[in-house]
Structure formats: structure tokens, C-alpha cells
Amino acid sequence: MKFTMIINKHIQAILIFLMVIIPLSVQNQYPFQNQTLTVEQRIDNIISLMTLDEKIICLSTNPSVPRLGIKGTAHVEGLHGLAMGDRKSVV
């Protein structure tokens, strides 16, 4: 019984450790996710990480880059300005 309690406490400690460490490591996987950097630094980093195909795809109406965790709004239409969106999607 005492051995089982010791094992359970170790398992709990490991789980708590993982619950704290994993989100911290995922939080800033790329430099552009670091909000202390300037906007220019973050944009430069995103562009440097993107492949040519990803850059071309972002010129369409879906500027998502799933590989980098960037989710587009599907409301951008660059040729004529912002289209298909509502006021909520404009930042």
C-alpha cells in the first residue's frame, strides 16, 4: 500500500511537470510567436520560414500556413482590398 502511494505521487508530479513544461515549449516554437519582438522582426521571421509555395498560396483568399500554425481568416482579397469580411474580421 505504501509503495503504491509513493508511485502515485511520482506519477502526479510527472504529470504536473508535463502540464507546465509542454505548453511553455509549444508557446514560442517560432520567433514570430514572441510578442516582445517588433512587428517587423516577426514579419521577417514568418517570411523567412515560409516556402515559395506557401507564399504563393497566401496571395489567394486563404492566407493560412498550417505548417507554422498560422490560421488565415479566408476574408482577404488583396487585388481589391479587404473583401468578403465583416467588421469583426478587420484588425
Buried b (16+ CB within 10 A) or exposed e, 8-32: eeeeeeeeeeeeeeeeeeeeeeeeb
pTM value?
Answer: 0.54
User: Which residue ranges make up each domain of the chain?
Assistant: 1-48, 50-91
Contacting residues for 29 by C-beta, under 8 A, at least 6 apart = 69
Each residue's pLDDT expressed in tens, for the chain with a length of 91 residues: 566 666 666 566 666 665 655 555 556 789 998 889 999 999 999 999 999 999 988 877 777 899 998 887 756 555 655 555 555 554 4
Dihedral angle, C-alpha 30, 42, 80, 82, nearest 10 °: 80
